[in-house]
Structures are given as C-alpha cells and as structure tokens.
Amino acid sequence: MTHLLGEFDCKVDSKGRFMLPSGLKKQLDPGDRERFVINRGFEKNLTLYPQSEWLKISREINSLNLYNKKNREFVRYFFRGASEMTVDSAGRMLMPKTLLDYAGVEKEIVLFAYGQRIEIWAREEYENMMQSEPEDFSSLAEEVMGKINNAPGGDDVS
C-alpha cells in the first residue's frame, strides 16, 4: 500500500495542466503513476486519488444504504465533479475547469500528499489554511488522537 507524504509547489498552465513532481511520482506504485481520479475536497480544495485507491473508496461509498437520505446526499456531493485523469505524453495532467473554479485555482498550487491521497490547493488558500493553525495544537492532538488504542506512548484503552 502506498503511503504518500510531502508538500509540492506546482505551476498550472493556461489550459489547467500541471506536472506531477518527480518526488511525488516516485512514491506511487508503478501501476498508479498514470491514472488518477480527482474530485472536490472537503474544504475549498481538490483531492487526487491514484486509480487503485479511488476504486477502494468507491466500493466503500457504494456500500452505503441509499434508502437513507443523508447517505444519498453524501454520495451525490462526494462524487460531484469526480473525473478520471491520465498523465499525457509530456507528463502533465489536465484538471477540469469546473473543479479549478471550485478550488479557486489559477496559476500556483500546492500538492499536499498524505496517506493515499493528494490534496490540491490554490497556493493562497493553502497558506491561509496553514496560518489558521489552532492555537493549542497539543489539545487538538489529544482530542483527535488520545482515544486511539495502542497510540505511541498512550495508555488509554477506552
């Protein structure tokens, strides 16, 4: 399983294309270097998934009970704008205009890779988000991670 990591600055050309940085490409399994799916992120960003990861997520989402209204709403919003992307012969990927507009992407983006996904942020949005870091990151970490069993150094087994 691929575990992506890092922040990468990229330029977007006038057609909405960008190059996947070699440092990021090296982290991808060979079968995941050419085909991706992009969709809206949970904030004002985009999320790029290697094709194999997208298939896993799609299976999980498609297993939701669609007789439940909240599930239907989530599925519609999650898949809204989702598009397949391939790397062209020059190593570029073309982002759909509707998604570029949604995320406010113009010329400069930051690719923020973690786990099995790559968030795509307009540079200004990314910088604004990172400047709004919580005052007490320690408290946030305790709240989010403190209940995980077997957390490094943690004795909490609740």
How does the average pLDDT of the chain come out, rounded? 90
Percent over 90 (pLDDT), the chain: 78
Q: Is 46 exposed, middle or buried (0-12, 13-18, 19+ CB in 10 A)?
A: buried
Q: What is the pLDDT of residue 109?
A: 98
Cα distances from 74 to residues 21, 78, 80, 153, in angstroms, run 32, 6, 10, 36
Q: Say yes or no: domain 4-145 is CATH 3.30.360.10.
A: no
pTM of the model: 0.86
Q: Residues with Cβ < 8 Å from 132, sequence gap 6 or more?
A: none
- Asked if the model's pLDDT at residue 83 lies above 50, the reply is yes
Residue-wise pLDDT tens digits, 114-148: 999 999 999 999 999 888 776 777 888 888 888 77
Q: What is the pLDDT of residue 65?
A: 96
In angstroms, the CA 140 to CA 146 distance is 9
Q: How confident is the model at residue 156 (pLDDT cuts 50, 70, 90)?
A: very low
Largest Cα–Cα distance in the chain? Answer: 53
- Asked if the model's pLDDT at residue 84 lies above 60, the reply is yes
- Asked if the model's pLDDT at residue 154 lies above 80, the reply is no
Domain ranges in the chain are 4-145
